[in-house]
Amino acid sequence: MQFGSVTGRFLAIVADGADADLEPDLAPITGKVRFTPSLSSGVSSDKAIILPTPITADIDEEGYLSVNGVRGITLVATNSTGINPSEFTYGVSFVDLRYGGLSLSYPAFNMNLPAGTTVDLSEAVPVGRSNGVAILRGEKGDPGPAGPRGLDGSASTVPGPAGPAGPKGDTGPAGADSTVPGPKGDTGATGPAGPTGPAGAASTVAGPTGPKGDTGATGPAGPKGDTGAQGIQGIQGVKGDTGAQGPKGDTGATGPAPDTSTYALLASPAFTGTPTVPTATAGTSTTQAASTAFVASAVSPKANTASPAFTGTPTAPTATAGTSTTQVATTAFAGTAAANAAASKIGSDGTITQVVALTQAAYNALGTKVATTLYVING
């Protein structure tokens, strides 16, 4: 196998401390750097896959990358011969980067480590913003120890540097005639005027109106008539004398002071007797005084709208005879209906034409109104 080395130093720019200059100072950053190999194409399925395990290096108290107190780290080259895969990359990630109590964060990236090379990690790391603290490349660290001799490898797959630029070539032949049109030529002179055409036909437009004639002279004004004589103005009558003002009447005697002992006070009055107030509309809920009638109406029991259970002797209007609706039927309505039905079954000679079937309640309602009718009680 073949190997390569990785070095680096990480410093933070901080405010100038107690030193002779006024320039910002450089302070080491602490943390760890982890190198994780990752597979790429080119793995042979008929060979064992051998990859280094992730290796973690420290950033020491002076900001240098180190392993076990030795600065720098040696890793298997990403193009090493004698391993499968023959090509891979290292994922580089930073763990717990800090400057003092400030936590720093930098994105991970991938890198190649060709055999026999040394990569300065501080140059390869993309520098980004993190709470105003930047990472700069520090001074070059001490060389790390020489790694073990690797196996004789094949020729390097890393391309060499580009060669110097060749001499400038000869000037090429002149180009073909241009296909771009030339500038526009000058405008030609104006040609002579053409001959005069024949006279036109007579105009159909009316000529101008002639001048207006003089206005005739105004005749002399007639003489003004005499003004009529002015009538005589009537004489104004004499204004009568103003009557004398009568004497002022005597002031009446002051009446007795009212007895306020029977008046109610406006604030917290103490009524006596039987004071009255207007009865509020049912359902009123304000600070208006409530009469006994309002309270009785509010607390009195009411029948339910649906299927009420009446007590006592409830009454209802008696419907007109012959009514056939859902109106409540009174005992008077039932008696009249039964009497009419019975009367319609008795002939003019007093004979019964049909037996009337009645309920017990109808029979009780009829009483002795139709004594000549035969009743069959449906009980």
Question: For residue 282, which phi and psi values (nearest 5 degrees)?
Answer: -55, 135
User: Please, what is the Cα angle at 36 between 90 and 111, to 5 degrees?
Assistant: 15
Long-range contacts of 319-328 (CB under 8 A, 24+ apart): none
Task: Read off the pLDDT band of 377 (50, 70, 90).
Answer: very low
Question: Do 110 and 89 touch, CB atoms closer than 8 A?
Answer: yes
Average pLDDT for 37-63: 72
pLDDT tens, 99-139? 888 888 888 888 888 899 999 987 775 543 333 333 334 45
Q: What is the reported pLDDT for 141? A: 66
Question: 261: which DSSP letter?
Answer: G
Instruction: Provide the percentage of residues in the chain whose pLDDT is more than 90.
Output: 13
| Paired tokens of 157 | 């797959």
- Kind of pairing, strands 356-359 and 118-120? unpaired
Peptide bond into 24 cis (omega under 30): no
The three-state secondary structure class of 65 is: strand
Domain boundaries, the chain: 3-137, 331-378
Half-sphere exposure of 79 (CA within 13 A, CB side): 14
Record the pTM.
0.34
DSSP label at residue 262: G
Highest CATH level, class, for 3-137: mainly beta
Q: What is the pLDDT of residue 73?
A: 94
E strand or H helix that includes residue 120? strand 118-120
In the prediction, which pLDDT does 295 show? 84
Compare 322 and 184 and report the one with higher pLDDT: 322
What is the Cα 182 distance to its own chain's centre?
65
* pLDDT confidence of residue 108: 87
So what's the pLDDT on residue 234?
47
- The Cα 244–Cα 120 span in angstroms is 134
pLDDT digits 0-9 by tens, 344-358: 666 666 555 554 555
Distance CA 315, CA 201 (A): 116
What is the pLDDT at residue 129?
Answer: 37
Higher per-residue confidence, 71 vs 190: 71
Instruction: Answer yes or no: is pLDDT of 300 > 70.
Output: no
Q: Specify the DSSP class assigned to residue 79.
A: T
Q: Residue 95: pLDDT band by 50, 70, 90 thresholds? A: very high
